DNA sequence: CCGTTGCAACTTGCATGGAAGCTGGTAATC
DNA sequence: GATTACCAGCTTCCATGCAAGTTGCAACGG
């Protein structure tokens, strides 16, 4: 039949296994708070709900534990991890360091890629400004997320991307919750534009500094907010 | 009998399961190059060697894959990952960002802890200088490792510690290999002392900058070395 | 009424078996 | 000789069974 191998020299595009399904489903459920933090689920129950046996659920749970989203308690079940303000401080420290580095890398790209990256970032920034003008908070959050994801992805460091993805998964619920508490959306857009400008001008240290300061300010406005509201677990 | 619970309010000190054993054993084997990169092992074989069934080995393999040390190829076996110079660049980028942040954090600690941390770091620096004087390369490597581990641990950020641990596991083999290629041991000791001094003086930005530049220099001397030697996979 | 003990139900840890998929070599064909 | 088809043996994937550990509650004794 002519073409036996459709497309796979050695790259690893393989159809998802049941373990992958379980992993994705559980991760999504945690993101959406279908599994609330503190909830203790049994593998059997999840397996039943997903229509598979305990084994793939168990293996997915191991991966989620590695991601810091759950804790597998021996012979007691799967505990959905809560996020405390202290965790947010840790998370922000990592973000501050890595996003600064990413911005510097992007600013150091050769001209064509650099300008394409800047344009992509600018598109997200525009979307944020528009959402802000329209008072559309969810859209603002989505555009903000897109901006930061693009910034990290354009840096072209797979490990950095992966770490940031993990960290973002951990803090997603907290971000959703605090989105409506914020009153400083203007500042974000302005700061984003500063980062973009520095990248356009191939100003590595400047991009680093602006990205860093942007996240530092975000942390310094967010953490007191969490403490004021007495949010111990998110 | 009076005190029924010896010591466990809720903390999770539990005896290692077979999965933990398998994980530790495989990780060690990879570190020591008992499993060379590129080697393709079967779960059955490893299980046999460790005297357990396939299940715990399989689950440990999943964790190792999450750590980026192996790749589990569906229905083909466990592939020990090799490290290419490009990977080292990625790894150094992450280290540069995170260790700078860690140093800044340590410099920002309250006085007593800060000075204790500085002393601990100084002890490692002394050991390095001594090893260098004695021409004892392995001891030098060990002390260097201790210095950087202490720096990260004293920052008191669990996530940061974990990420650095993972990254170090990935690059351990490469570091061992390149240890004897280096000719710039003096510089390291001097730079370490600069970091320590900045921490002693609670100079956060200074500590950040020195830690950063130390790792940047290490990267810039190491990467050309790897390329010159044509080391494609380590 | 309160503290203790024992049990029953439930949980996961791990072993094992059947099934499906991949690989490499061999034989058949052009 | 080169190419294709195929098959045997290997591998993991997943379901399931059994054993061991944990929990909550009921019954009991003070």
In a domain, A103, yes or no: yes
- Residue B42, CB, less than 7 Å from strand D? yes
Residues A97 and A200 in one domain: yes
Q: Which residue of A has its CA nearest to B65?
A: A63
Spatial separation of the C-alpha atoms in residues A172 and A31, rounded to whole Å:
7
- Residue A42, CB, less than 7 Å from strand C? yes
If pLDDT is split at 50, 70 and 90, which confidence band does A9 have? very low
Q: Which nucleotide has its C1' atom closest to residue B73's CA? A: D12
Distance in Å, alpha carbon of A224 to nearest chain B alpha carbon: 19
For chain B, residues with pLDDT lower than 70 are 1-15, 230-232
In a domain, A202, yes or no: yes
Spatial separation of the C-alpha atoms in residues B98 and B158, rounded to whole Å:
12
Chain B interface residues (partner A, CB cutoff 8 A): 12, 14, 17, 58-59, 62-63, 66-68, 71, 73-74, 87, 90-91, 93-94, 96-98, 100-101, 105, 157-160, 163, 167
- Residue B139, CB, less than 7 Å from strand C? no
Among B80, B104, B130, the domain boundary falls at: B80
Residues A223 and A109 in one domain: yes
Distance in Å, alpha carbon of B134 to nearest chain A alpha carbon: 37
In a domain, A172, yes or no: yes
In a domain, B7, yes or no: no
Residues B98 and B213 in one domain: yes
Segment A216-227 shows an average pLDDT of 90
Q: Which nucleotide has its C1' atom closest to residue A58's CA? A: C12
What's the number of domains chain A is made of?
A: 2
Q: Distance of CA B211 to CAs A100, B88, B103, Å?
A: 15, 18, 7
Segment A33-59 shows an average pLDDT of 94
Chain A interface residues (partner B, CB cutoff 8 A): 12, 14, 17, 58-59, 62-63, 66-68, 71, 73-74, 87, 90-91, 93-94, 96-98, 100-101, 105, 157-160, 163, 167
Q: How far is the CA of B9 from the C1' of C4 (A)?
A: 21
In a domain, B1, yes or no: no
**B157–A93 CB contact, under 8 Å:** yes
If pLDDT is split at 50, 70 and 90, which confidence band does A225 have? confident
Residues A113 and A198 in one domain: yes
Residues A215 and A179 in one domain: yes
Residues B182 and B98 in one domain: yes
The domain in which residue A42 lies consists of 18-80
Residue pair B78/B70 in contact by the 8 Å Cβ criterion:
yes
Spatial separation of the C-alpha atoms in residues A74 and A5, rounded to whole Å:
44
Among A37, A55, A80, the domain boundary falls at: A80
Burial state string for B134-166 with b = 16 or more CB within 10 A and e = fewer than 16: eeeeeebbebbebbbebbbbbbbbebbbbbbeb
Residue pair B168/B68 in contact by the 8 Å Cβ criterion:
no
> What tokens does A183 get?
């009153």
Residues A110 and A190 in one domain: yes
Spatial separation of the C-alpha atoms in residues B99 and B158, rounded to whole Å:
13
Residue pair A234/A83 in contact by the 8 Å Cβ criterion:
yes
Residues B157 and B54 in one domain: no
In a domain, A4, yes or no: no
Q: How many CA atoms lie within 13 A of A7 on its CB side?
A: 3
- Residue B56, CB, less than 7 Å from strand C? yes
The predicted pLDDT at position B178 comes to: 85
In a domain, B233, yes or no: no
Distance in Å, alpha carbon of A136 to nearest chain B alpha carbon: 33
CATH number, position A98: 1.20.120.530
> What tokens does B215 get?
């790792």
Q: Which residue of A has its CA nearest to B86?
A: A157
Residue pair A41/A35 in contact by the 8 Å Cβ criterion:
yes
Q: What's the gap between Cα B73 and its chain centre?
A: 26
Q: How many CA atoms lie within 13 A of B234 on its CB side?
A: 22
The predicted pLDDT at position A7 comes to: 34
If pLDDT is split at 50, 70 and 90, which confidence band does A12 have? very low
- Does residue A221 come out as left (phi exceeding 0), alpha (psi in the -120 to 50 range) or beta? alpha
CATH number, position B45: 1.10.10.10
pLDDT tens-digit readout, B168-185: 999 998 888 888 877 777
Taking the alpha carbons of B67, B70, B72, B73 in that order, is the dihedral positive or negative? positive
The predicted pLDDT at position A29 comes to: 96
Residues B140 and B106 in one domain: yes
Residues B111 and B97 in one domain: yes
The predicted pLDDT at position B133 comes to: 92
Q: How far is the CA of A75 from the C1' of C7 (A)?
A: 19
Beta carbons within 8 Å of A117's beta carbon, 6+ residues apart: A106, A109, A150, A154, A199
Among A51, A80, A109, the domain boundary falls at: A80
The predicted pLDDT at position A30 comes to: 95
Beta carbons within 8 Å of A179's beta carbon, 6+ residues apart: A137, A138, A140, A141
Residue pair A104/A205 in contact by the 8 Å Cβ criterion:
yes
pLDDT tens-digit readout, A90-136: 999 999 999 999 999 999 999 999 999 999 999 999 999 999 999 89
Residues A90 and A54 in one domain: no
Q: Which of B12, B59, B157 sits opposite A90 (nearest CB)?
A: B157
Q: How far is the CA of A44 from the C1' of C10 (A)?
A: 11
In a domain, B143, yes or no: yes
Spatial separation of the C-alpha atoms in residues B140 and B130, rounded to whole Å:
8
- Residue B54, CB, less than 7 Å from strand D? yes
Beta bridge partners of A72: A78
Residue pair A68/A220 in contact by the 8 Å Cβ criterion:
no
Q: How many CA atoms lie within 13 A of A233 on its CB side?
A: 8
Residues B64 and B89 in one domain: no
Spatial separation of the C-alpha atoms in residues B83 and B61, rounded to whole Å:
18
């Amino acid at each position: 039949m002519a073409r036996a191998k459709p497309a796979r020299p050695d790259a690893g595009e393989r159809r998802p296994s049941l373990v992958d399904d379980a992993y994705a489903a559980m991760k999504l459920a945690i993101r959406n708070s279908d599994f609330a933090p503190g909830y203790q689920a049994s593998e059997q129950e999840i397996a039943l709900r997903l229509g598979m046996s305990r084994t793939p659920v168990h293996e997915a749970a191991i991966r989620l534990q590695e991601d810091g989203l759950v804790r597998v308690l021996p012979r007691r079940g799967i505990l959905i991890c809560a996020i405390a303000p202290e965790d947010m401080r840790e998370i922000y420290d990592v973000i501050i360091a890595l996003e600064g580095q990413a911005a510097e890398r992007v600013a150091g790209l050769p001209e064509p890629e650099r300008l394409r990256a800047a344009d992509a970032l600018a598109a997200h920034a525009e979307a944020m400004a528009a959402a802000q003008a329209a008072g559309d908070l969810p859209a603002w959050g989505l555009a903000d997320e897109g901006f930061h994801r693009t910034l990290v992805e354009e840096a072209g460091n797979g490990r950095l991307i992966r770490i940031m993805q993990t960290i973002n998964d951990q803090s997603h619920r907290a971000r959703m919750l605090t989105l409506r508490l914020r009153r400083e959306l203007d500042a974000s857009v302005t700061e984003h534009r500063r980062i973009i400008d520095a990248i356009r001008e191939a100003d590595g240290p400047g991009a680093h500094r602006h990205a860093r300061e942007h996240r530092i300010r975000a942390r310094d406005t967010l953490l007191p907010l969490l403490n004021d509201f007495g949010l111990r677990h998110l």
